[in-house]
Homo-oligomer: A and B are copies of this chain.
């Protein structure tokens, strides 16, 4: 019954599944920042942000160098690439389905239902 969420990809996606954390990553894409700087835009407490940072760090998305008492955080690209790669692996499949959808919207419902030639279905706008 015990949950054991250990594989790196799960951990990475989990880390990305929070808007605050994604915003932090977005901020970090502009350049490194201290914990305080990262926390500043948010209503939540510093410890809350600290936890978010630990999650990102645990997922390998972020690393830090301590410079005296200030921790400078920066993006760590590898984990993000792993996530991107997973999605990319299935890209052709869902891409194909998007194409089908596009064709559907373009030509109207399914060739097969076309057999009955004069269907009373409402016409699609010809975008």
Contact = CB atoms under 8 A, between A and B. Distances in A.
A42 B101 CA distance: 31
A97 B84 contact: no
A53 interface: no
Interface string A11-52: 111101111001001100100000000000000000000000
Contact of A91 (B9, B26, B84): B84
Interface residues of A, number: 36
A77 interface: yes
A36 B40 CA distance: 49
B75 A97 contact: yes
Contacts of A95: 77
Contacts of A87: 80, 83-84, 87
Interface of A: 5, 7, 9-14, 16-19, 22, 25-26, 29, 74-78, 80-81, 83-84, 86-88, 90-91, 93-95, 97-98, 101
Given A77-B101, A80-B87, A81-B94, 14 more contacts: A9-B22, A10-B18, A11-B17, A13-B17, A16-B86, A17-B17, A26-B90, A29-B90, A77-B94, A77-B95, A81-B98, A84-B84, A84-B87, A84-B88
